[in-house]
Amino acid sequence: MPSPYRAIFAAPGSKGFSAAGFFGRMPLSMMGIGIVTMISQITGRYGLAGALSATLAMSAAVLGPQISRLVDRHGQAKVLRPATLASVAAVTGLLVCAQQDAPDWTLFVFSAGAGCVPSVGSMIRARWAEIYRGSPRELHTAYSWESIVDEVCFIFGPIISIGLSTAWFPEAGPLLAAGFLLVGVFWLTAQRATEPVPHPREHHTAGSALRSPGLQVLVATFVATGAIFGAVDVVTVAFAEEQGHKAAASLVLAVYALGSCLAGAVFGLLHLKGSASRRWLVGVCAMAVSMIPLQLAGNLPFLAVALFVAGLSIAPTMVTTMSLIEAHVPRTNLTEGMTWTSTGLAVGVALGSSAAGWVVDASGAEAGYVVPAVAGALAAVVAFLGYRRLRRPVPTREGQRERDYEDGAQHVA
């Protein structure tokens, strides 16, 4: 492990909560695709499978920020455990109803209930922020490390979920995802020494974190960014099927995640000068431009190369986003603020998947790559329009914390 990464794990308890976070985040990449695989195998109805996956995503987008707000007020242990048990119970109900051929409405009810899954990635980043508050260089490296973990989950999660459901039994993928969530959250919440100090309701004078103008820009941009990801997933599967190699879609998408993973690893080693907001704008524009070569994809090898290049801009942009949230959201709402960006991504993924599916059905897979290109252009436009809001962090009653962070980031991050 390169020295900057080794250095951040010198903090007591950091290895433990980061490892727990890995298991807790695996369901993020396993559950949706696992439900699609399970339902399509049991019923043969891809439309129902997609609708249930979208229901899960939208439910998580609605409930996730509310759970994180409760975490900021009452602490991770008190909130995450009951939320996780409720989510696992809902997943169990979904699996039983699917296996017993229950009415469709029961599947939608349990899919919506499963959406109370906590945003484990936000919980882990909040712990890093608590440890390295006031140390932008170490925090930059820690956020980069967590982006690497995210991409590793997205590389292996779908492969494991699809593989188990097709080779063992249809419910195996979602069942293992629920198991990962249970183990990860209970292991994480058992580590109380690194848990951020909760801030009771009377300390939350600013209300919701989403009232921050800077966070509003980040979330709106991430809706468009999520549409890129959702559209790329759907169109790539359709493109591989048209090429006669549908199974290769998971490998091509793994290459996409691999590009982001490698870029995140390198980015964590760099200590770039300049404004974090400017660096974020460049990253969003790079993601938009990287969608153009996809319009020329004529075969799977070319597509894999194009997606690898496109993935290089993802992790650095995500890392910079976390830094901007730290600068624009009061500490009492930090976990909620981080979760709102995940919510934006989830909403965007649902919208992008739906739009891409419609275009593929109407005009074919190659035409479907227009959808992520349009989403990328929209993300760039929103980023340009909101850039001025991100240049000036908003001071809070905690003093000049946000401005101090941005000043420090300009020198070391």
Sign of CA dihedral 73, 75, 77, 83: positive
User: What pLDDT score does 206 carry?
Assistant: 52
Length of the chain: 413
- Max Cα distance, the chain (Å): 60
The pTM of this model reads 0.74
pLDDT for the residue numbered 3: 74
CA 26, CA 161: separation in Å to the nearest integer? Answer: 10
| Contact yes or no for 333/204 (Cβ under 8 A) | yes
> Which domains, from first to last, does the chain contain?
1-139+154-199 (1.20.1250), 208-413 (1.20.1250.20)
Residue 396 β-bridge partners: 399
What one-character-per-residue DSSP string does 296-357 give? G--SHHHHHHHHHHHHTTHHHHHHHHHHHHHHHS-GGGHHHHHHHHHHHHHHHHHHHHHHHH
Calpha distance 289→71 (Å, rounded): 37
> Mind spelling out the 3-state secondary structure of 366-404?
HHHCHHHHHHHHHHHHHHHHHHHHHHCCCCECCECHHHH
- Residue 114 is given by DSSP the state G
66 three-state secondary structure: helix
Task: Encode pLDDT of 157-216 as tens digits.
Answer: 877 887 788 778 888 889 999 999 999 999 999 998 888 887 665 444 456 666 777 788
Q: Which of 49, 54, 9 is nearest to 348 (CA)?
A: 54
The predicted structure's pLDDT at residue 46: 63
Q: Decide if 345 contacts 318 (C-beta within 8 A).
A: no
**Residue 209 carries which side chain, given as an amino acid letter?**
A
Alpha-carbon distances, residue 363 vs 206, 368, 370 (angstroms): 48, 7, 11
**DSSP-assigned beta bridge partners for residue 383:** none
Task: Tell which residue, 307, 304, 286, 256, has the closest CA to residue 377.
Answer: 286
**pLDDT value at residue 397:** 34
- According to DSSP, the residues that pair with 360 across neighbouring strands are none
- In this structure, the number of other CB atoms found within 10 A of the CB of residue 374 comes to 19
pLDDT at site 148: 81
Q: Which two tokens stand for residue 179?
A: 């198991």
Hey, how many other C-beta atoms are within 10 angstroms of the C-beta on 395?
A: 12
Judge whether 80 and 185 are in contact, CB under 8 Å: yes
What is the pLDDT tens value at each position of the chain, 413 positions in all?
A: 457 778 888 888 888 999 999 999 888 878 877 887 788 778 877 667 777 877 888 888 788 888 888 888 888 888 999 999 999 999 999 999 998 889 989 999 999 999 888 888 888 988 988 888 778 788 878 888 888 888 788 777 877 887 788 778 888 889 999 999 999 999 999 998 888 887 665 444 456 666 777 788 888 998 999 889 878 877 887 788 788 876 677 788 888 888 888 888 888 777 767 777 888 899 999 999 999 999 888 888 999 999 999 999 988 888 888 778 877 777 677 777 777 887 788 788 778 877 887 788 788 888 889 999 999 999 999 999 888 877 665 544 333 343 333 333 333 33
